[in-house]
Amino acid sequence: MAAAQEKHLAVARVWADSLFALAAENGREDDLLGELEGLVELLDRQPALENLLASPAIDTEAKRALIEKALRGRGSDLLVDALQVMRRKGRLVLLRAVAQTYRAEWLAQRHKVEVRVTSAVPLTEDLREALRLAAAERTNRQPILVERVDSDLLGGLVVAIGDEKIDSSVSTELATMEIALLERASRELISGKSYFTEGQ
């Protein structure tokens, strides 16, 4: 499974690199990033559209007409033409991966790093600034914060800088403590010791 996913991303990276190079010829790297991210948001809102575009059972001419009707005049010719080439090559299933790898290339070229922060409550501005400074010092890149609130964390933060994950959430600490207690109980049961004291 991991190998298949890696191959999927590797193929997507080839397409993303080509798109980035074409966009760079006209100084439109930022614009194309926005269009690709907008396309992913559209797929999020309309999963039926994503299924249709990715399905090998749908006639390629029907896909061509759909792309033209939905995007020509709304998106750039670069984006629409690229989608049509991907359609002809049977690569529309890679749309999300292409957007993901294009963003990674854009970040690298702009000397930026994405910092994904999950917190139990919204971040304060002071904490945002502290995270930006810490990420900049750690990576020597300009950080872009992507924030998400998850009340299941109870407290603390989960921070991912690029591929590195730093978890200081209360829920993780509790889960770690629970595992440690279970392991201790298991060891004591095996050794014949009583895990529980009299009166419990």
Which pair of tokens denotes residue 4?
């298949």
pLDDT digits over 49-100, tens only?
899 998 988 899 999 999 999 899 999 999 999 999 999 999 999 999 999 9
Domain limits, the chain: 2-107, 112-168
Question: Average pLDDT, whole number, for the chain?
Answer: 84
Angle between helical axes of 95-109 and 2-25 (0-180°, round to 10): 60
* pLDDT interval class at 166 (50, 70, 90): confident
| Contact of 87 with 59, CB cutoff 8 Å | no
Q: Which residues does residue 160 pair with via DSSP β-bridges, in sequence order?
A: 116, 165
pLDDT digits over 89-143, tens only?
999 999 999 999 999 999 999 999 998 988 888 888 988 898 888 889 888 999 9
pLDDT of 18 strictly over 70 = yes
Q: What architecture is the 2-107 domain classified under in CATH?
A: Orthogonal Bundle (1.10)
* pLDDT interval class at 195 (50, 70, 90): very low
pLDDT of 176 strictly over 60 = no
For the question of whether the overall pTM of this predicted structure is more than 0.85, the answer is: no
| Residue 58: burial class (beta carbons within 10 Å; 0-12, 13-18, 19+) | middle
* pLDDT interval class at 175 (50, 70, 90): low
Give me the pLDDT at residue 199, please. 47
Give me the pLDDT at residue 124, please. 87
> Over 35-73, what HEC string results?
HHHHHHHHHHHCHHHHHHHHCCCCCHHHHHHHHHHHHEC
